Amino acid sequence: MTLQLDDLRVRHLGECRYDSPLAEMLSTKQTSPHYVAEGDRVLLEDTVSMLAEHRLPPARVPSFEGAGPRRKIYFDPARVTAGIVTCGGLCPGLNNVIRGLVQELAVHYKVKRILGFRNGLRGLTAEHRHDTVELTPAHVRGIHKDGGTILGSSRGGQDAEEMVDSLVLRGVDIMFVIGGDGGMRAATYLSDAIRARGLDIAVIGVPKTIDNDLPFTDQSFGFQSAFARATDFIASVSVEAASSPNGVGIVKLMGRHSGFIASYAALAANGADIVLIPEIPFAFEGPDGLLAHVEQRVRAKGHVVIVLAEGAGQDLLDQPGPQRNGRGTDASGNVKLGNVGELLKERIAAHLAAAGLAPTMRYIDPSYSIRSIAANAYDSVYCLRLAHAAVHAAMAGRTAAAVARWRRRFVHVPLSLMTSRRNQVDPDGDLWMSVLETTCQPAAFGSQPDREKVRTGFC
């Protein structure tokens, strides 16, 4: 199914009748390479051939509504209450987004009441709906220097109707949901339940996750900070491996079912011999299997460095059964991953010993170390600008939408699209080509069962 222009339209709560306090700032604004004027749109596709396939005039090809302040807004700032919640795994930049939201709401729109709901969407259940914190610029002044989230986060499913009751009881007009695929899914259910009740409450998602597994955004915030931190561990394990006879350095990195952190960290560290990601299955055995390649690298250079995405090789661990992997799911329904790092260590150590290359194994699993840090400079700016875009969207009455950066422009993406599929590394894309060019590893290790085609199109 090819996306059409109407698939990318964002819902508006109604006519914007109030003058925006930022209207004066907009008087001279027009579209340029550095600004998307009100009413203009950002193309979904950015190559001549992809655009030509539509055989449509520019105004009809799929495009996103540009983000940014509007001259007229839907809500009366003097009477608005905003709510903020952070959900799912921690991610560098969460506090930066909270700070940006509060600053833009309070300072520029003069919104007087901003409620922080605690510990993820459980903070919107009947049990916790009154345990909120009033957020003011003074309260959030220095939080951007800290990792984590001052509001707390959690996993688990909550009832949409119960959450809507909380918004009504607390008088919330705008709800900002900062979350990953799960959080965006929850925001979708929340806005659906609000619409079914005919309520005038805007729900705006701010996509978040170190995994970068969200579609329709160039990168999710926190991803750059996480993979930058991961390069430190790759550097350490490379030193250990290079300083030991038949050294084998392995770093296992987060990313769930997407291999972006492993791919980018390996490219940034630029010293890995092998990168293993969930999107590309691998076999241990056989003349072109992984073990033969590891042995060849150890014989050639005396050591080997492997960057392993935590979601790689799950098929080698999976047992048949209802959850496919037999390990069940977490409170949010995410499949629990098996420890492919342990399997890799065992198989490589045994193979090299049998080949007469007694190995020195060095294994690092940074785990939470790459996501509990503060945002780096890039993500700090990105988070602040996403927060500004989210406030402008909400005040202009947009809802059931996320703010995202798409081809360098800030845009509004319907939540239904944000949850339509998982963003994964395209085995036929240029990122993976760069990894192969850097590691000189083969495109595949061992004879592959038919690889589950990674859905990398727009839909």
Ligand X SMILES: O=P(O)(O)OC[C@H]1O[C@](O)(CO)[C@@H](O)[C@@H]1O
- Selected from 154, 217, 225, 380, the binder of ligand ATP by CB under 6 A is 154
CA-CA distances (angstroms) from residue 229 to 146, 165, 320, 364, 457? 15, 41, 36, 13, 30
134 known ligand binder: no
Question: Total residues contacting Mg ion (rule CB under 5 A)?
Answer: 3
332 assigned to a ligand binding site:
no
87 binds ligand ATP (CB under 6 A): yes
In sequence order, what are the residues at sequence separation of 6 or more whose Cβ sits closer than 8 angstroms to the Cβ of residue 179? 85, 86, 87, 88, 186, 187, 205, 206, 207, 208, 209
The sheet that has 274-276: what strands, in order across it? 274-276, 303-309, 247-253, 360-364
211 catalytically annotated: yes
Distance in Å, CB of 8 to ligand X, minimum: 26
Nearer to ligand X (CB atom), residue 372 or residue 438: 372
Please check if 170 is assigned to a binding site. Answer: no
Q: How far is the CB of 93 from ligand ATP (least distance, A)?
A: 11
- The correct pick among 104, 173, 181, 310 for binding ligand ATP (CB under 6 A) is 181
87: CB partners within 8 A, 6+ apart: 120, 121, 153, 154, 155, 177, 178, 179, 180, 182, 183, 186
The pair of three-digit structure tokens given for residue 282, joined into one six-digit string: 């691998």
8-state DSSP, 451: P
The least CB distance from residue 184 to Mg ion, in Å, is 9
Q: What residues between 319 and 378 interact with ligand ATP by CB under 6 A?
A: 332-334
Stretch of 83-91, 165-173, 267-275, 294-302 contacting ligand ATP, by CB under 6 A:
83-91
- Both structure tokens of 200: 């005038």
Q: Which of 209, 238, 246, 325 binds ligand ATP (CB under 6 A)?
A: 209
Residue 157's binding partner among Mg ion, ligand X, ligand ATP, none (Cβ under 5 to 8 angstroms by kind) is ligand ATP
What distance in Å separates the CA atoms of residue 184 and residue 179, rounded to the nearest whole number? 6
CB contact at 8 A, 388 and 178: no
**Inter-residue contact 314 to 338 (CB < 8 Å):** yes
**185 part of the interface to ligand ATP, by CB under 6 A:** yes
Residues that contact ligand ATP, how many (by CB under 6 A): 25
The contact set with ligand X (CB under 6 A) reads 89, 155, 180, 209-211, 254-256, 310, 330, 371
Identify the burial level of 302 via C-beta atoms within 10 angstroms of its C-beta, where 0-12 means exposed, 13-18 middle and 19 or more buried.
middle
- Considering only residues 143 to 202 of the shown chain, the ones binding Mg ion according to CB under 5 A are 180-182
* Residue 310: CB atoms within 10 Å: 25
Which one of 7, 76, 192, 211 is the catalytic residue?
A: 211
CB count in 10 Å sphere of residue 378: 15
Please report how close the Cβ of residue 87 comes to ligand ATP at its closest, in angstroms. 4
Residue closer to Mg ion, measured from CB, 68 or 180: 180
Contacts of 223 (CB under 8 A, 6+ apart): 209, 210, 211, 212, 260, 261, 264, 379
d(CA 458, CA 392): 26
Binding region for Mg ion (CB under 5 A)? 180-182
Binding positions are: 89, 155-156, 180-183, 209-211, 254-256, 310, 368-371
Binding region for ligand ATP (CB under 6 A)? 87-89, 91, 120-121, 154-158, 179-183, 185-186, 189, 208-209, 211, 332-334
Binding positions for ATP are: 89, 155-156, 180-183
What are the residue numbers of the active site? 211
